[in-house]
Amino acid sequence: MNNFERDEKETEKDLETIRELYETKPTAVYKHYDIDDNLIYVGIASDVTVRQTTHFKTSEWQQEIQNVSVEWHYSRLRAEIREILLIKAFRPKHNKVHNNNNFAELA
């Protein structure tokens, strides 16, 4: 079997994984701003409190965070799309992934 041939079991397993990842489940897009109100980081989380605690404890740039805003989306997929679009539009300095001009990543 080559890389493009898949049996029915493998395909069904992949579909189940996709269903689990993108089931309708509220997910937040959170935005960190610096003292000058510049957007410095965008992320997503289903539990914003836990994720923010992690940022404030482990991020090298946590001292720059002066304000956090949160917007909720009805699914993880919608939140991921919003996150990518915000990163591409504002290029926050602490986002590493998606922080380029390659909009083909959305395809």
Q: What pLDDT does 101 receive?
A: 65
Q: What pLDDT does 92 receive?
A: 96
Q: What pLDDT does 107 receive?
A: 45
pLDDT tens, position by position, 45-67? 999 999 999 988 998 999 999 99
Q: What pLDDT does 27 receive?
A: 93
Which 3-state string (H, E, C) describes the chain? CCCCCCCHHHHHHHHHHHHHHCCCCCEEEEEEECCCCCEEEEEEECCHHHHHHHHHHHCCCHHHCCEEEEEEECCHHHHHHHHHHHHHHHCCCCCCCCCCCCHHHHC
Distance CA 86, CA 24 (A): 21
Q: Which residues of the chain have pLDDT under 50?
A: 107
Residue type at 55 in one-letter notation: H
Q: pTM of the predicted model, to two decimals?
A: 0.73
